[in-house]
Structure 1
């Protein structure tokens, strides 16, 4: 077979099958473009000068890894649709006398054309849009960027090598499949999966156990460190459970519907149930893939949006004013640092240091808090768990901070930070929370733990609570805050002088502007990555749905033609099609919503690592994300359903 003939036949095959090849090529171009852009950002030297650059670089490298892994799975999965659709055509070539080596040459040429076009087009578009994406990232982070066009040659080489190797593996897989298959198998390859699947009790039980275990882990976790440690375990269990349940439980449900004669023996129900049952093995895998991708989009986007929307609360908690001065006194035996005399003298010293540095301090206030390591179990605090901290201050200090009367006595407390129960037990005594105040104390850092800030009636009460804590007492933290109109350089000079003149080590000064820049880089990078990957996975889910509709349309065409001939009207056919398509489309979305709800507690715990404890905000972000994704999902349904109807020829033309 001549090279010219092989090239001509390969190109003609691509044109004849453009309905299948075009989405595949466009998807490949899109993934390659996105992979290059992520590499461009990961290796971009200009980002190194931004605040939080170390976070941004890590996030972009993580994005490269995620897109790379996803690309392998996605391209192999979509290629399987293409090959299954073309099995009959390839088998016919073989029966008509074409040797397998000649078929292999044709497949090689087709793969070479689509791969080269995808890589070249993907890189060109990626280079074209990389600067725009860079500017969008900087806009999200709130920084300016010079408009200078450049190309990441490292990204170009890495992208070309990675996807060249990936397309080569796809080709080898196709060649091996053709070489090992018999012509008769290829002719009937597009009909594989039509045999009725068996009910698999063992797989159903394993699926239920995996899914239940993943949900239990996610729902029962009560601290951020466990959430991070078990997150991957829970995700794997839910993914396994999702695949098994779509494969097994769906068959059980459909067979139960078939046994219900009153439901099954109706024209619309008969065709829908029987059609889905006989192809459920293929349907289940596709539906599970759509469900997992949808869950990834929902969790990723809602989390990153919540991080971005709640970052100001975190900044307010860490540095409620322009400057926060802090010192930690470990195992300090006396309580004199909570006395007004000590607080007055240290505040006067701080003002003197600020004045010598030409820093004008406004609205100065300070306090000293006793720290206790503990854990809240139901409504009782237990000592010793280091992932929860209680900071205790007196009513006098509360009045210094707020300028308001505390109005508490006995075992009444005012709560801030992580909210305490209305009534709780501490050291065998019962306490009552009379009020919650937002951002009462500056935390000084993102500690990744539940931080209970409480105000008690007097210093004697603090001493008794410290004695009750025993070894769980973690010392004291002194914090002073003030606003200033001075420059950052003057404030930084003041910070250095304060550290040098401090009589006790550990003193430090935090500027609100620095914290804002650092967290802006961190949350901005995550928001960008979440939206970026969300678009990738949404596009992938849409393409999988498209191929499912196309493949099922060709399978159903003959069936509906036969049903038409034996007396089923067009209206009945349309109703049957609609019921089947709607089920295949929206069951994955519903299950994804359930997964999102199941993961809510675990994600909330991980968000608390960044001091994001606003549950209401996370609920709002999750709900809005689900509604937005559902709208996009419905649009994809409308578009792909039309293609399905066109193929079976009884719907819209």
Structure 2
């Protein structure tokens, strides 16, 4: 046993340049997953606002991190084992049997897994309370919270990584037992040429094409959520096929050029093709993790920046009242008058939402609740809001006659010339260029899911009401701080009854929801960013050891150091930035679908979303450049 332990520790010590990064990656995977599990199971957070939505996001993150932990740790251990096989085969030649060799490798695997797990679990435990505090601060929440650690989080984390380590251990033992001593000795130099490259390329095009197609053609926000994970799955699988087939495409393109057979170009291209073939899974993993990091970082930034914009849309004034009961509005006006409050910037109008379907040249009203109950069935329908203006903000409304309406719409929507509402026909008088109440007082998310027709009528009375339609009276206004305090005091017992809402209160609640999502997005984004950096660094170290002997051979053949360095620079640049370019393409195609999903959270400002995604990509690209500098330096040192 002493000899086994000594040989295992010697093996780790002699190969510390590859084992140390592996242990750090293992620790980071443990830290990330355990931190998410601790947040999910924290007693201090379970009852907070919007925690059910956050729980769903964290649950998805756990699945993603679990899958990537399995894939990458298993894949990386394969490299570690291959690097040790020559040494192990020498032990066999010296007389150690395969059973003893298996014990050495098993002990090595146990030591590095235990070290990685302990570092990760201790880090998660120490940093967890800080993460919880940041989480609460972003939600604008205060309080004294006790230190609690959910036992379930540690149990799940232990079982998952114990399972991964057991799988790695069994793979090591099986590989040793199945291979002959000669095969073990040659294993490090062996490269299996992948088969079915043409088929792989076709599958990549089909999967990526259909994933991109879904992302670009789904316009209904609720459908976007349903199809998002299908599109993600297609693009993920397509990315793996893309990199496994990309080398053959490059090879064919390069071979058609006469310059391919020049010494410098031949070495560069042939090395690049080999690296693409042998590292397809690693490149695909880096691409997918880069895509996830950019999307999470950008989405979190976009949503958090949208809080004030959403608040100004939902509550354009300091006080907003939306009620189907005229008594409520009258009572609010009475409170303002009786207390000599100075209400300014008043918005006073009535509206009634309707769902329309086209019947020839006429738009015919359906039940209003149709859109709310069946948002996925709205592709051939239209949403409209009938409006009666009481504050004179639309000048053209004063000249309307009974049976006429003014129309405001997005230019991309079809025109409406005639309406049929409950058998009563209304004809369009003219189109108006501006509508001052767009989204004002509309708190249902359905109002953000579709492009609306706004139809201003002279008198919105019960004769126009059909089925479940209700006329809603909206009354918005601003108050000074002093008057606001009086108004809140006078209405504190009837605010819910009268449908009274406040801009500041809405903003506070929005920050709770968006702050929680921002934290989760940034946290997961950082996890993927750091994981990407560790993977890139580790991959470059792998490549350095794999290429070291090749470049020694080139030097022996008389190829100058300058040409070799130039060749290395070219292939490292291509190899390094190809995942970033592909990730950028993935994000560009995903943006429309993600933007539609944001609508479900009330975020409809495209300029905020676009600039946030640009900022997110630039931040990640700069960090990626730092990764490149650090890892390429390590690569050059090795070769």
Q: TM-score, normalised by structure 2?
A: 0.85
Given the superposition, is the C-alpha separation of residues 397 and 243 from structure 1 closer, same or farther in structure 2, using an over 3 Å criterion?
A: farther
Corresponding residue for 1:426? 416
Does the 8 Å CA contact 1:448/1:609 hold for their aligned counterparts? no
Deviation at residue 225 of structure 1 after TM alignment: 1.7
Deviation at residue 317 of structure 1 after TM alignment: 2.2
Deviation at residue 122 of structure 1 after TM alignment: 1.8
Distance (whole Å) between structure 2 residues aligned to residue 239 and residue 156 of structure 1: 29
Q: Secondary structure at the match of 2:433?
A: strand
Mapping for residues 178-193 of structure 1, pairs under 5 Å: 178-193=176-191
Corresponding residue for 2:114? 116
Deviation at residue 29 of structure 1 after TM alignment: 1.5
Corresponding residue for 2:495? 495
2:354 matches 1:372: yes
Distance (whole Å) between structure 2 residues aligned to residue 283 and residue 629 of structure 1: 22
Deviation at residue 412 of structure 1 after TM alignment: 8.8
Deviation at residue 580 of structure 1 after TM alignment: 0.5
Given the superposition, is the C-alpha separation of residues 594 and 423 from structure 1 closer, same or farther in structure 2, using an over 3 Å criterion?
A: closer
2:514 matches 1:542: no
- CA deviation string 1:15-51 (max 9, x = no partner): 1111111111112222222222222222222224543
Mapping for residues 235-314 of structure 1, pairs under 5 Å: 235-261=232-258, 263-314=259-310
Given the superposition, is the C-alpha separation of residues 242 and 437 from structure 1 closer, same or farther in structure 2, using an over 3 Å criterion?
A: farther
Mapping for residues 168-567 of structure 1, pairs under 5 Å: 168-193=166-191, 195=193, 200-261=197-258, 263-327=259-323, 347-352=329-334, 362-363=343-344, 365-374=347-356, 386=371, 387=375, 389-394=383-388, 396-397=389-390, 399=392, 405=395, 420-421=410-411, 424-426=414-416, 432-435=431-434, 437=436, 441-447=440-446, 449-452=448-451, 456=455, 458-459=457-458, 474-482=469-477, 484-485=484-485, 491-496=491-496, 498=498, 508-567=499-558
Distance (whole Å) between structure 2 residues aligned to residue 351 and residue 436 of structure 1: 24
Deviation at residue 312 of structure 1 after TM alignment: 1.8
**Which among 64, 70, 73 is matched to residue 62 of structure 2?**
64
Deviation at residue 474 of structure 1 after TM alignment: 4.5
Corresponding residue for 1:79? 77
Gaps of 5+ in 2: 376-381, 419-426, 479-483
Distance (whole Å) between structure 2 residues aligned to residue 94 and residue 556 of structure 1: 26
Given the superposition, is the C-alpha separation of residues 214 and 451 from structure 1 closer, same or farther in structure 2, using an over 3 Å criterion?
A: closer
Distance (whole Å) between structure 2 residues aligned to residue 129 and residue 487 of structure 1: 45
Distance (whole Å) between structure 1 residues aligned to residue 133 and residue 319 of structure 2: 31
Given the superposition, is the C-alpha separation of residues 111 and 201 from structure 1 closer, same or farther in structure 2, using an over 3 Å criterion?
A: closer
- CA deviation string 1:454-507 (max 9, x = no partner): 6555426x799979xx99x95433333355325978755213554xxxxxxxxx
Deviation at residue 254 of structure 1 after TM alignment: 2.1
Given the superposition, is the C-alpha separation of residues 260 and 153 from structure 1 closer, same or farther in structure 2, using an over 3 Å criterion?
A: same
Distance (whole Å) between structure 2 residues aligned to residue 237 and residue 193 of structure 1: 29
Corresponding residue for 1:651? none
Deviation at residue 90 of structure 1 after TM alignment: 2.5
Distance (whole Å) between structure 2 residues aligned to residue 60 and residue 366 of structure 1: 43
Deviation at residue 128 of structure 1 after TM alignment: 1.3
2:603 matches 1:615: no
Distance (whole Å) between structure 2 residues aligned to residue 354 and residue 101 of structure 1: 89
Q: Secondary structure at the match of 2:354?
A: strand
Distance (whole Å) between structure 2 residues aligned to residue 32 and residue 354 of structure 1: 59
Does the 8 Å CA contact 1:290/1:544 hold for their aligned counterparts? yes
Corresponding residue for 2:567? 576
Given the superposition, is the C-alpha separation of residues 19 and 423 from structure 1 closer, same or farther in structure 2, using an over 3 Å criterion?
A: closer
Does the 8 Å CA contact 1:7/1:109 hold for their aligned counterparts? yes
Corresponding residue for 1:589? 580
- CA deviation string 1:178-211 (max 9, x = no partner): 222332232222223265x567322222221111
Corresponding residue for 1:47? 45
Does the 8 Å CA contact 1:347/1:365 hold for their aligned counterparts? no
Q: Secondary structure at the match of 1:610?
A: coil
Distance (whole Å) between structure 2 residues aligned to residue 436 and residue 96 of structure 1: 88
Q: TM-score, normalised by structure 1?
A: 0.84
Does the 8 Å CA contact 1:372/1:466 hold for their aligned counterparts? no
Given the superposition, is the C-alpha separation of residues 567 and 98 from structure 1 closer, same or farther in structure 2, using an over 3 Å criterion?
A: same
Deviation at residue 405 of structure 1 after TM alignment: 4.4
How many residue pairs match? The answer is 607
Distance (whole Å) between structure 1 residues aligned to residue 97 and residue 463 of structure 2: 86
Corresponding residue for 1:97? 95
Given the superposition, is the C-alpha separation of residues 101 and 578 from structure 1 closer, same or farther in structure 2, using an over 3 Å criterion?
A: same
Given the superposition, is the C-alpha separation of residues 437 and 232 from structure 1 closer, same or farther in structure 2, using an over 3 Å criterion?
A: same
Distance (whole Å) between structure 2 residues aligned to residue 452 and residue 546 of structure 1: 47
Does the 8 Å CA contact 2:290/2:583 hold for their aligned counterparts? yes
